[in-house]
Amino acid sequence: MNERQQARRPGGRSARVGAEVHQAVTDLISERGYGNFTVGEVSARAGVADSSIYRRWGSLETLLTDVALTRLNAQSPMPDTGSLAGDLRTYAANVAREITGPDGLAVVRLAVALSSSGQQGLQAGDELRAVRMRQLQAMLDRARERGEHPPDAFSVLDHILAPMYIRVLFGMVPLAPDYVDGLVDRLL
């Protein structure tokens, strides 16, 4: 097998470049906001050629969508504590920590901006919501299997996640543990 036929290793240079480009996008959104930078600025910040970005993502919009989906889908694994109340408290605390963390606001703003930026952004938003709803539903189904009476996934979204996201978007942070637990208590 010659060098060109060797399979790509997971990780390695490709993963490193992807991570550096994603971080550059997140940093630029934090500093300048959505739509206020170019592929050239991302490539300079990440230390890669802009041709590498175009070859891998094709456009700035595709790159932004990839960053949002990757960051938001990687967040908040669904806990399994043995009770619905415990699962919801742990999940809500994880989300609160992530959206108030160093890159949290930038990623939230990117997701919001993408949702109103044309067909690709709408598709990204649909995909993100579908992933989140499947995750929430799996947690709620586990609770039902244990004999609990869980709310529906939209109720979790409306009563726990939405208030936290609104507070972060409007700078009403930190999200204190008592506040987050109170959201769960009111839902249950």
Whole-model pTM: value is 0.77
Q: What is the mean pLDDT of the chain?
A: 86
Give the span between the Cα atoms of 14 and 56, in whole angstroms. Answer: 10
Distance separating alpha carbons of residues 96 and 164, to the nearest angstrom: 7
CB contact set of 23 (below 8 Å; sequence gap of 6+): 46
Mark out the alpha helices in the chain (DSSP H runs): 12-32, 39-46, 50-57, 60-74, 84-99, 104-114, 119-145, 153-156, 162-169, 177-187
Region of 49 on the Ramachandran plot (φ > 0 left; ψ -120 to 50 alpha; else beta): beta
CA 125/CA 115 separation, integer angstroms: 6
Rounded Cα–Cα distance for residues 100 and 168 (Å): 7
Q: Which two tokens stand for residue 147?
A: 């004999």
What pLDDT sits at residue 4? 41
Residue 174, preceding peptide bond in cis (omega within 30° of 0): yes
Average pLDDT by stretches of 10, the chain with 188 residues: 45 85 91 88 95 91 83 74 96 91 83 77 77 88 97 96 94 94 97
Q: What pLDDT was estimated at residue 10? A: 53
What pLDDT, on a 0 to 100 scale, did the predictor assign at position 104? 84
C-alpha to C-alpha distance for 104 and 96, rounded to whole angstroms: 9
The domains found in the chain, sorted by start residue, are 3-67 (1.10.10.60), 70-187 (1.10.357.10)
- Number of Cα atoms under 13 Å in the Cβ half of residue 95: 29
Distance, first Cα to last Cα, the chain: 60
